[in-house]
């Protein structure tokens, strides 16, 4: 076995030493204790760092290799093995204890139970790869289990040696995978894959494998399969509850202003930066968030929605970041993962971001910067890979000026800011949206109507739409309820605030009526030319500049 990195060798040695059920300590040059396991620490009632050779020599353990010893009422024997780590000599002392002398004698009688065998037994299998996934170490037991030749496996890519392995992935990502199941030869083994780091760089990975005899594997694997089915169901339910249902195809609109934001949103989907969606209530911010996620590289991951306004302030932190067991009264046993952890690998949609209390804004900023979260009641951090899409209908700039929103967080999110226009600013889209919602509710209500009358459509175009598309959709749904099958939606089917607009037009001045006509003619022409301004100007017999001026006057420009 060739390992040319001392720290890696120590890493493996430590893993083995920690796992052995017997007291083990490693000394260098027969003097300094270099490493020891918890059995030693407990037996000598010392802290790991305080286990000095003197304590052990005082107890006359060190020199008495292979002679029976007594320690804290336990019987035992000391074994010594010399190992070389990069041409330096280390002594491994193995203290076998038992409070039953006969047990110990049994162990003692098995002369063939050599220390090296124990290393092999510490884990049923041990494998180590370099950063590119090439095998550097493969324990004999693991090689036997895999039916591969131990020596010739060294230097091969791990995927050629172990089926379904992920060692090469862990050596790349640096993310530990704890107690994962791996299918090998019709059965399962339990594998922990840990990255090896040196000066903050991942220099490889160690895989520790546990497998049992065939009978045990079958029993365990049956149980595991059952659990997998259950887990799949839960995962499915979770994904179902946390999925983005809309794509860009669901976003209706033809206006220049609308197409412009669609372009921006498509660009946002291609990048992995955080996104801030701004716009009045009901303009479609949530639909945009879904669509961006579904068109992004995270589409296969979950889409977790959090309504910042709906969660009481005192619960927000634990909801977002999770908590550890016992961190507060009522905390669940085993703790609970928060929304950020749940969204790992996917997208988290923070709706109503403007309602996030200031103390939570600080924590959110930290998560965006560090890409890790800390559960409530925990002192360690968990790395997370989550993209944040935030939305608000509040004016964040004003909030910053009033000290209600943190400037640093605003800047962090502003990187990719998309302002969704209100319906008033995209009147041209009203007709197509109306037809879209008529179709939708015809299907839902299983009722056929003859569209909408021109007069009713004009009334809808005149309205100011404070509730934007949500309000328009509700009004069409309402109208569909009132209209008779086979007839068209007319003024009578619209609510008073819209139907009543006619009276206002009738007492308007001639100039206002002309302007109204002018605006609607431009709108109609733009609709016809699909927003093409040069073509519209040509059709209406005006210059492009005049058309721009008029569009500006009537608020038709994005
Ligand atoms: N471009 C669009 N095409 C079709 N339907 C749309 C469009 N935009 C919005 N809607 C519809 O309008 C309604 C409101 O959309 P959404 O909830 O995304 O708005 P929002 O801006 O997130 O609102 P709020 O700020 O109140 O949370 C939804 O029912 C959605 O289906």
Domains of the chain, earliest start first: 6-122 (3.30.450.20), 125-210 (3.30.450.20), 248-419 (3.40.50.300), 423-506 (1.10.8.60), 510-553 (1.10.10.60)
Ligand 1 center–CA 251 separation, angstroms: 9
Pocket of ligand 1 contains residue 367 by CB under 6 Å: no
Ligand 1 center–CA 428 separation, angstroms: 17
In the numeric block, which tokens belong to residue 31? 């003097």
Pocket of ligand 1 contains residue 421 by CB under 6 Å: no
Specify the residue for token string 């929103």: 405
Q: How far apart are CA 63 and CA 461, in angstroms?
A: 97
Pocket of ligand 1 contains residue 285 by CB under 6 Å: yes
Ligand 1 pocket test, pick from 245, 287, 422 with the greatest ligand atom count within 8 Å of Cβ, gives 287
pLDDT, residue 220, reads 57
Nearest protein Cα to ligand 1, atom 13: 470
Average pLDDT, the chain: 80
pLDDT, residue 68, reads 63
Pocket of ligand 1 contains residue 432 by CB under 6 Å: no
Ligand 1 center–CA 433 separation, angstroms: 12
Pocket of ligand 1 contains residue 175 by CB under 6 Å: no
Ligand 1 center–CA 358 separation, angstroms: 27
Pocket of ligand 1 contains residue 469 by CB under 6 Å: yes
Ligand 1 center–CA 303 separation, angstroms: 17
Q: How far apart are CA 447 and CA 485, in angstroms?
A: 6
Ligand 1 pocket test, pick from 288, 350, 421, 470 with the greatest ligand atom count within 8 Å of Cβ, gives 470
- Measured in residues, the chain has a length of 558
Q: How far apart are CA 163 and CA 478, in angstroms?
A: 60
pLDDT, residue 105, reads 42
Contact in structure between 417 and 276 (CB atoms under 8 Å): yes
Pocket of ligand 1 contains residue 136 by CB under 6 Å: no
pLDDT, residue 281, reads 95
Ligand 1 center–CA 367 separation, angstroms: 28
**What one-character-per-residue DSSP string does 331-375 give?**
PPTT-B--HHHHTTTSEEEEETGGGS-HHHHHHHHHHHHHSEE--
Contact in structure between 531 and 256 (CB atoms under 8 Å): yes
Q: How far apart are CA 326 and CA 332, in angstroms?
A: 7
Ligand 1 center–CA 56 separation, angstroms: 73
Ligand 1 pocket test, pick from 247, 255, 286, 478 with the greatest ligand atom count within 8 Å of Cβ, gives 286
Nearest protein Cα to ligand 1, atom 8: 284
Ligand 1 center–CA 549 separation, angstroms: 30
pLDDT, residue 176, reads 80
pLDDT, residue 120, reads 45
Atom of ligand 1 nearest to the CA of 279: 21
Ligand 1 center–CA 471 separation, angstroms: 9
Pocket of ligand 1 contains residue 283 by CB under 6 Å: yes
ipTM: 0.98
Ligand 1 pocket test, pick from 393, 423, 469 with the greatest ligand atom count within 8 Å of Cβ, gives 469
pLDDT, residue 106, reads 42
pLDDT, residue 82, reads 66
Give the N- to C-terminal CA distance of the chain in Å, as an integer. 69
pLDDT, residue 4, reads 42
Ligand 1 pocket test, pick from 257, 282, 424 with the greatest ligand atom count within 8 Å of Cβ, gives 282
pLDDT, residue 505, reads 47
> How does 477-498 read in b/e, with b if 16+ C-beta sit within 10 Å?
eebbeebeeeebbbeebbeeeb
Q: What is the mean pLDDT of each run of 10 residues along the chain (558 residues)?
A: 49 64 69 72 61 56 58 65 62 62 42 40 71 87 84 93 91 81 71 75 80 53 63 71 84 90 95 95 96 93 92 88 77 78 93 94 93 87 93 95 94 92 91 96 94 92 93 96 93 91 57 78 81 89 90 82
Ligand 1 center–CA 507 separation, angstroms: 35
Q: In what order do the strands lie in the sheet with 23-28?
A: 32-36, 23-28, 88-98, 74-85, 68-71
Pocket of ligand 1 contains residue 394 by CB under 6 Å: no
Ligand 1 center–CA 468 separation, angstroms: 8
Atom of ligand 1 nearest to the CA of 252: 3
List % helix, strand, coil for the chain (3-state, nearest 5).
Answer: 45, 20, 35
- Alpha helix (H) residue ranges in 162-273: 167-173, 214-241, 256-270
In the chain, the percentage of residues whose pLDDT exceeds 90 is 40
Nearest protein Cα to ligand 1, atom 9: 284
Ligand 1 center–CA 480 separation, angstroms: 19
Pocket of ligand 1 contains residue 473 by CB under 6 Å: yes
pLDDT, residue 113, reads 37
Pocket of ligand 1 contains residue 286 by CB under 6 Å: yes
């Amino acid at each position: 076995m060739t390992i040319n990195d001392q720290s890696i060798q120590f890493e493996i040695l430590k893993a083995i030493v920690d796992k052995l059920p017997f007291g083990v300590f490693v000394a260098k040059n027969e003097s300094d204790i270099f490493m020891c396991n918890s059995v030693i620490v407990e037996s000598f009632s010392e802290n790991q760092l305080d286990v000095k050779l003197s304590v052990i020599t005082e107890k006359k353990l060190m020199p008495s290799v292979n002679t029976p010893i007594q320690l804290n009422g336990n019987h035992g024997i000391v074994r010594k093995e010399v190992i070389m780590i990069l041409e330096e000599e280390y002594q491994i002392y193995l203290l076998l204890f038992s409070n039953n002398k006969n047990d110990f004698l049994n162990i003692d009688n098995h002369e063939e139970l050599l220390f090296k065998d124990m290393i092999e037994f510490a884990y049923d299998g041990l494998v180590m790869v370099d950063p590119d996934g090439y095998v550097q170490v493969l324990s004999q037991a693991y090689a036997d289990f895999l039916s591969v030749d131990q020596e010739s496996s060294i230097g091969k890519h791990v995927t050629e040696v172990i089926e379904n392995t992920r060692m090469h992935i862990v050596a790349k990502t640096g993310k530990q995978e704890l107690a994962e199941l791996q299918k090998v030869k019709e059965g399962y083994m339990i594998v922990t894959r840990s990255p090896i780091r040196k000066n903050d760089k991942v220099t490889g990975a160690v895989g520790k494998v546990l497998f049992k005899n065939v009978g045990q594997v079958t029993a365990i694997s049956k149980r595991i399969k059952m659990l997998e089915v259950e887990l799949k169901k839960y995962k499915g339910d979770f994904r179902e509850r946390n999925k983005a249902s809309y794509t860009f195809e669901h976003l209706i609109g033809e206006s220049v202003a609308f197409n412009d934001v669609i372009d921006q949103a498509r660009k946002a989907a291609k990048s992995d930066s955080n996104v801030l969606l701004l716009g009045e209530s009901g303009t479609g911010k949530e639909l945009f968030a879904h669509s961006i996620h579904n068109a992004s590289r995270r589409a296969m991951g979950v889409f977790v929605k959090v309504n910042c306004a709906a969660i009481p302030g005192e619960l927000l932190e634990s909801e977002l970041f999770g908590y550890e067991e016992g961190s507060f009264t009522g905390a669940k046993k085993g703790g609970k993962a928060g929304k950020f952890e749940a969204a790992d690998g996917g997208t988290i949609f923070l709706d109503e971001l403007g309602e996030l209390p200031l103390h939570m804004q600080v924590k959110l900023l930290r998560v965006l910067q560090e890409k890790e979260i800390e559960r409530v009641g925990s002192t360690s951090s968990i790395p997370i890979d989550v993209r944040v899409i935030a939305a608000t209908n509040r004016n964040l700039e004003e909030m910053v000026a009033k000290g209600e929103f943190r400037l640093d967080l605003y800047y962090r999110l502003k990187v990719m800011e998309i302002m969704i226009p209100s319906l008033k600013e995209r009147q041209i889209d009203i007709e197509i949206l109306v037809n879209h919602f008529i179709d939708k509710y015809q299907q839902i209500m299983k009722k056929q109507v003859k569209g909408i009358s021109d007069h009713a459509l004009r009334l809808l175009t005149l309205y100011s739409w404070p509730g934007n598309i949500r309000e328009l959709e509700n009004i069409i749904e309402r109208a569909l309820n009132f209209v008779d099958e086979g007839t068209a939606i007319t003024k009578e089917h619209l609510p008073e605030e819209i139907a009543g607009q006619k009276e206002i037009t009738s007492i308007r001045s001639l100039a206002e009526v002309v302007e109204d006509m002018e605006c609607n003619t431009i709108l109609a022409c733009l609709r016809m030319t699909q927003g093409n301004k040069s073509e519209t100007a040509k059709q209406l017999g005006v210059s492009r500049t005049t058309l721009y001026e008029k569009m500006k006057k009537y608020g038709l420009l994005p």
